[in-house]
Amino acid sequence: MIKCMLIILIPLSGGLAVGSSVAAFFVVLGVTVKIVKLSKREEYLVFYQLSLVLGALLSCVIYFFDFSLKQFSLLAVPIGLLFGIFTGMVAAALTETLDIITIAVNQLKITKWLYLIVLVIILGKAAGSLLFFLFPGF
């Protein structure tokens, strides 16, 4: 009986810790705020929270159960795109929090070319990701 309770209780508390820290990470980075603002509809906040929770659940379905949609290879394109957008936003949020671009632009006195630098960073990130995933050996 105690064993059974422990088996339920320990993963539950572990999951609580993981889930809340992931949520806190996104909130602090401002990624979720950015995405919610993208829709210009802050009143649907419940939906957004729900989709965050359901997304976390989806990851458990993918990872812990041997379950597959089967024969929807083309679905990889939109899902990959969405994954990429989210990762890109997290990466951009990190660069912004660390003030890398701001300091570089201020030091080099090229404030006018700020968006050129952003553009170059975008191209670089995409190219690096392509190289990493497609070139065998990484």
Partner 1 sequence: MESYEVYFQFKPFYQKKSGERALLSDFIEVSAAEEIKKQIDRIIVFPHGINAPVRLTAIQIVQLIHQAVNRVSVIPIGESSALYEPVQEEKDNPLLVFLRVAFSAVLLFFGSALAIMYFHADVNMKEVHQTVYQFISGKKAAQPVLFSISYSIGIGAGIAIFFEVINKLKNKENPGPLELEIHQADKEIRDYLRDQEGKKEN
Are 62 and 55 a contacting pair, CB within 8 Å? no
d(CA 36, CA 48): 7
Which residues are CB-neighbours of 31 under 8 A, at least 6 positions away?
86, 89, 90, 93
Query: Of residues 39-98, which lie at the interface with partner 1 (CB under 8 A)?
Result: 39-41, 44, 47-48, 50-56, 58-60, 62-63, 67-93, 96
d(CA 22, CA 29): 11
- Site membership for partner 1, residue 22 (CB under 8 A): yes
**Shortest spacing between CB 4 and partner 1, in angstroms:** 24
**Shortest spacing between CB 2 and partner 1, in angstroms:** 27
C-beta atoms surrounding 24 within 10 Å: 10
Structure tokens at 97: 């929090």
- Answer for which of 9, 34, 110, 113 binds partner 1 (CB under 8 A) is 34
- Site membership for partner 1, residue 1 (CB under 8 A): no
Query: Of residues 93-122, which lie at the interface with partner 1 (CB under 8 A)?
Result: 93, 96, 99, 101-103, 105-106, 111, 114-115, 118-119, 121-122
- Our CA dihedral for 47, 78, 83, 20, rounded to 10 degrees, sits at 20
Instruction: Indicate the residue among 4 and 19 with the shorter CB distance to partner 1.
Output: 19
**Shortest spacing between CB 85 and partner 1, in angstroms:** 4
Instruction: Indicate the residue among 1 and 115 with the shorter CB distance to partner 1.
Output: 115
Q: What is the largest CA-CA distance in the chain?
A: 68
